[in-house]
Structure 1
């Protein structure tokens, strides 16, 4: 076993242990992880897109908003996170429109990083259902990622998005999606002693969202000629390289819950209740 592979395995085990422990504990430990992801994702996004070079003032403003969102995740009122982020995005968009140095990567970075932490906290919540919901999302994303790789290598075939990520195939995408649905449905079945078509359908949506997230990050890195989002994680690159699929799956779960709550009038509906039809 090579040194680089050993480094990758060790880093993966350490990261998995931290994330699973924080998820199990919930509360403040999980919020620390969510806040760190918010900060590190924006750091990597801004580094890849060179926001500091292109728009120093806007970049400084974005850091202020990300800091406020991360602080609110840790110590504030969850109901204020979206207004904080939304106000920052609107202001950043106006800065982009009014200034020559403005770039749409600025408001995009606030949304991508801010919603990463906000959606994670919303899914985890403070109860047992939130724990199962978070593990459900993990099961979808991790199973999709692992089986997409192995099925794609074993079967091959037409490329999924050759201009963005030449290594990905349609066979891998379909195999990963099937695996994600099976793993997540099995977890939900164990937790609630029943199988629901609704839950399987949600797993399908989250699996697709996860793969879109992976492709989206690949597009950004290719657009700016970057191999890894950073070197923060030994043997793995950056945080965005590890959470790209998870971020989009969390986005999907959170935003679908908000849309469902708005349509049904269930304003206090939790993400867990939406995912499992509770």
Structure 2
């Protein structure tokens, strides 16, 4: 085996091992529910926010800005967990304005991008929390969401690498291909139908897979804007937490909105019961 092939296999092995650990933690906390689940996703959201701020603060680790952002994110999350979603939205709106002001004082090149990190990170924790809290359908809704996002991510990666072909959006993400997009979308649709037990979820799975890959492209555009390859090097083989959850947060938000539109204040039921 050539040295290049060995290096590729080593990178893939690290990537798989990291993915297994992360998936195991996500599944275990989703099964447990409650404050353990919320704490897991709040920690992930806080990491995403810190990575976003590192990019938008011109590569500086500005702890006063990060500390304020994480405190606001935690406050909004606890309000949602306590059933006060309206108050959480007010905290996020006022908090984004406060982050923009502090970012300007601390010399951020574009303070509005600093402010955007708070609602972006909130999409990591708040939609999935609202879905999981909606018993008795919450756990199954989260598992369906995992099946869509993970299925899309894994099959897009392997289909794209195997088949290649025309690039999806080369200016933003040079490695992503149309074959990967289509393969990931089709597999995610099947996975959603199998896990959720509904033909409607096959269609929703395809839609959310496309949304998930769109979230991935959005984060790629942000990194390209700031000339960064990865959001951080926190996860071996994967880069940063934001690099792993860019698609998930977009799909989770879309699933929540679908659930709310279909069943009002029972978003998990509205997402998976048809």
In the TM superposition, residue 52 of structure 1 has moved relative to its aligned partner by 8.1
Give the TM-score, by structure 2 length.
0.84
- Do structure 1's residue 272 and structure 2's residue 274 form an aligned pair? no
User: Secondary structure of 2:228's partner?
Assistant: coil
Determine which of 128, 131, 140 is the counterpart of 1:123: 131
- Do structure 1's residue 226 and structure 2's residue 232 form an aligned pair? no
- Structure 1 residues 9 and 60, CA gap change in structure 2 (3 angstroms): closer
Give deviations 1:131-190, integer Å, cap 9, x for gaps: 11101111111111111122222222211000111111111101110110011011111x
In the TM superposition, residue 72 of structure 1 has moved relative to its aligned partner by 3.7
Give deviations 1:9-39, integer Å, cap 9, x for gaps: 3322222211110011111110111111121
- Do structure 1's residue 196 and structure 2's residue 199 form an aligned pair? yes
Match of 1:192?
Answer: none
- Kindly tell me the number of residue pairs found equivalent between the two proteins: 265
User: d(CA) in 2 for partners of 1:29 and 1:58?
Assistant: 26
Q: How does 1:6-25 map to 2 (within 5 A)?
A: 6-25=13-32
- Do structure 1's residue 248 and structure 2's residue 263 form an aligned pair? no
The answer as to whether partners of 2:123 and 2:250 remain within 8 angstroms in 1 is no
- Structure 1 residues 231 and 52, CA gap change in structure 2 (3 angstroms): closer
Give deviations 1:62-116, integer Å, cap 9, x for gaps: 344224224445x643423223213323555677899995522122101101122
User: d(CA) in 1 for partners of 2:41 and 2:69?
Assistant: 18
The answer as to whether partners of 1:52 and 1:59 remain within 8 angstroms in 2 is no
User: d(CA) in 2 for partners of 1:254 and 1:90?
Assistant: 25
User: d(CA) in 2 for partners of 1:223 and 1:34?
Assistant: 27
User: Secondary structure of 1:168's partner?
Assistant: strand
User: Secondary structure of 1:104's partner?
Assistant: helix
The answer as to whether partners of 1:140 and 1:206 remain within 8 angstroms in 2 is yes
Q: How does 1:78-97 map to 2 (within 5 A)?
A: 78-79=84-85, 80-92=87-99
The answer as to whether partners of 1:44 and 1:240 remain within 8 angstroms in 2 is yes
Long gaps (5+) in structure 1: 190-194
Long gaps (5+) in structure 2: 1-5
Give the TM-score, by structure 1 length.
0.83
User: Secondary structure of 2:137's partner?
Assistant: helix
User: d(CA) in 2 for partners of 1:87 and 1:51?
Assistant: 23
The answer as to whether partners of 1:55 and 1:103 remain within 8 angstroms in 2 is no
Q: Which moved more, 1:149-158 or 1:2-11?
A: 2-11
- Do structure 1's residue 105 and structure 2's residue 113 form an aligned pair? yes
